[in-house]
Amino acid sequence: MTTSKDEKSDDVLGLSGTSDALGNGLDEVSPTVFSRRDILRLGAALGLTTLGGGAFWGVLEAMAAKGPATEWFKSVCRYCGTGCGVQLGMSDGEVIEVRGDEDAHNQGKLCIKGSLLTVLNQLPGRLTTPQIRRDGTLRKASWDEAMALVAERFKQAIREAGPSSVAYFGSGQLYIEESYTANKLFKAGLGSNNVDGNPRLCMASAAVGYTKTYGKDEPPGAFEDIDHAEVFFIIGANPAECHQPVFERILSRRRQHPNTVIVCVDPRRTMTAEYADIHISPRPGSDLLLLWSMANVIVHDGFADRDFVSAHVSMQNVDGSAADWGALERFLDGYAPSKVSERLGVPAARIRELAQLFATRPATMSLWTMGLNQRVDGVALNTTMNALHLLTGQIGRPGATPLSLTGQGNACGGVRDTGSLAHLLPHGRLITNPAHRAEMEQHWGVPAGRIAPTPGLDALELFRAMEDGRVRCLLNVCTNPGQSMPNLGRYEEAMKRAFVVVVDAFEDTATSRFADVVLPAAMWIEKEGVYGQTERRYQLLEKLLEAPGEARSDLEILVDFAERMGLADLISARTPAEVWEEYRNLSSHSKYDFSGMTRERLREAHGLQWPCPTEDHPGTARRYIPGDPFVREGRDIDFYGTPDHKARIFLTPYEDRSDPVDADFPLILTTGRIVEQWHTGTMTDRIPEIREATPRGHFELCEGDAVPLGLQDGDRALVTSRYGALEGPVKVSRSPRPGTLFAAFYDAHWLVNKVVTDRCDPTSKQPDYKTTAVHVEKVRT
């Protein structure tokens, strides 16, 4: 949709207030004085302390501006699950300017990466033709030749070893229409439930945690709650770097309401911790001790809302039996602050302070992401985080809510909602539930019993199945497991043993090195589709550009594949609009109902939140309270996802199942992201302004750990775990707590995940990227 240019944004360089953040005027700051990384980080500081996410645009203009736009279009950022609305200025078929959409939930703010979307579709290294590996080398091929080979090999595998010998590995970056089609094609068409992907690596524990607690996936609250919260409890997340517009909104709330308190729980002194009012740094792997210790204070010191719990909550022991309030008190006895303080590395008084703050302020909002999810106890951490809100009644009011942040642009809508994981079917249905399978077989028009009753292989097991020959063919779409999988050396070898098809927008990725066929894909606004982000917000991205060369949309590729596999009748919806209509109507049979989100509404709206059951429904910001269409009349809160309409608290004890630290492996390696780069760097590390501004892969450790090892800033170290070893430069920093190393994983030439454990949560099957035990030694030159 074309929109009028926002005249106010012409004055984005009216930088009154920037001197407060810098200690001098911005006129003293210029790209000739600072390094590129200084400029990008300065932009983050400006965005987070004065004018919001777009305030540093003038600094970046010197690097990225291309001239005046003649037309403006509404769209959505390509990157994370925040789902920021953007206005794209175009001229002569090219994006030449990007601005935050002031009518979208991000209120005109953008992060560093979003502000450089102008260059995204023109990055070097785009795939433009299909390729087939011949004599060990990928060589150009025609679409017909490449797709004929793919279909032949998949048919052969199914014929010889059955449907479970083929698999699909997808992405939280594909559009809803694409993931939905792939899920339907494999589960109802090919008969394989081996449908999984990178959301298993980042959000599976959050999804399981919500489902166990409320009976349905996805958060009960929204970003709007930021504008009402008085306490922000941020744990296992670094939104100042990874979700900047969200964090700017948090800081804006504190500027307007100075009594607001920001708490950051993180073993590292991150940018978020720098801005927090309270930063506590527990020992890596001990967060569940902290949460239950806070619960101990809340219950034993009288801060719990017992009336709320009695009316709206049920409790379960670890064996699944029902628990009462007395059982809760006995369970929590072992988590008194005085008993766990030493193991946590957090003073008992500080634990009591956090618990009282969380429980007694008018509205507490918790936010978390990979620091809780990517853990061997990720599900327990998620259910317990929700339990703190239930015990205190900090839910169902403006500002009072748990909210897990999402790493990828469409992991929520495109994977969790579409059921594109090995154990799921669309809209919260389960493979193991016969009624759910029968319902989907009827909706999809396939014979009864067509959907296999056994869940498929989760991400780790899928790659292990390639290792031992159970999975012979893999269709890998819009994701880069050759860089993102843990214990990477093992799974690199696994990919060598299967027939691997990679669909990607870029050549020379870490995964395409193992591909037998590579297919060129359109990206972002070179195709049309819907994103569903963190707060259940669905947004339409329209096609504004043509894809380069012979690249096709992922949906077109899937439709072609379906036809060649003899499934043209099943995959009868072939355009984004047709697939959306099928999927939208399917939602009306579920508690996810967004059948009111017509294509036309999405084209005009700046995002709609489900449930949204009718075309005149405004969407639902907060679930389980009046205004949510599924809440029963007369109920102030109604957890309708469970049979008894009560939320669940699970008394899951803390158990240290992390990679064990011992004399041979005395330190803990944790991995994550930095402000400039996104995930495996396939896109961001090709942007010159970002690549030249960020250092190559390296290890960060504190001075207290560096000195005994004889390490100084810039030295090289060999880091060894039980899974692999990697050499790299060292940065001595005050960010990691003693005993902890940090490394980002964006550098494709420095694969830190070769060192990372592939231990995982036993329920969600999500790997633990946060607590790998390592040995560090200086490399002598």
Annotated catalytic sites, by residue? Answer: 113, 202-203, 370, 407-408
Q: How many residues does the chain have?
A: 781
**Distance separating alpha carbons of residues 395 and 399, to the nearest angstrom:** 8
Residue whose structure tokens are 């740094």: 281
3-state helix vs strand vs coil in the chain, percent to 5: 35, 20, 45
**What are phi and psi for residue 177, nearest 5 degrees?**
-60, -35
Please state, in angstroms and rounded to a whole number, the distance separating the CA atoms of residues 103 and 148: 46
CA dihedral (271, 274, 278, 279) positive or negative:
positive
Task: Quote the tokens at residue 247.
Answer: 């964090």
Cα gap 742→750, rounded to integer Å:
14
DSSP state of 353: H
Element (H, E) at 232: strand 231-235
- Bridge partners of residue 520, in order along the sequence: 504
Burial 41-56 (b: 16+ CB within 10 A, else e): bbbbbbbbbbbbbbbb
Given the DSSP bridges, would you call strands 699-701 and 740-744 parallel, antiparallel or unpaired? Answer: antiparallel
234's tokens: 């941020």
Three-state DSSP class for 207?
Answer: helix
13 Rama sector, left if φ>0, alpha if ψ -120 to 50, beta otherwise: alpha
Q: Which amino acid is it at 525? A: I
Cβ neighbours for 369, distance < 8 A, ≥ 6 positions apart? 236, 237, 239, 242, 243, 404, 405, 406, 407
Is 528 in contact with 542 (CB distance < 8 Å)?
Answer: yes
Nearest in space to 110 (alpha carbons), one of 46, 174, 203, 18? 46
Say which amino acid occupies 338.
S
Tell me which residue of 533, 501, 723, 505 sits closest to 610, measured CA to CA. Answer: 533
Take residue 99 and report the two structure tokens written for it: 């601005």
Under 8 Å between Cβ of 369 and 406 = yes
CA atoms of 758 and 768, how far apart (whole Å) = 7
Residue 591 neighbours by CB distance under 10 Å: 17
Burial of residue 497, with CB atoms counted within 10 A of its CB: 0-12 exposed, 13-18 middle, 19 or more buried: middle
| Tokens standing for residue 348 | 């008992």
Is residue 191 left, alpha or beta, with left meaning phi > 0 and alpha meaning psi from -120 to 50? Answer: left
Q: Which of 198, 681, 719, 81 is nearest to 486 (CA)?
A: 198
Tell the burial category of 631 from Cβ atoms under 10 Å away from its Cβ (0-12, 13-18, 19+): buried
Instruction: Spell out the long-range contacts of 62-70 with Cβ–Cβ below 8 A and sequence spacing 24 or more.
Output: 62/30, 62/31, 63/31, 63/36, 63/39, 63/689, 64/115, 64/116, 64/118, 64/119, 64/689, 65/96, 65/97, 66/94, 66/96, 66/97, 66/118, 67/91, 67/96, 68/96, 68/97, 69/5, 69/96, 69/97
Asked if residues 741 and 699 have their Cβ atoms less than 8 Å apart, the reply is yes
Q: Answer for the pair 350, 340: CB distance below 8 angstroms, yes or no.
A: no
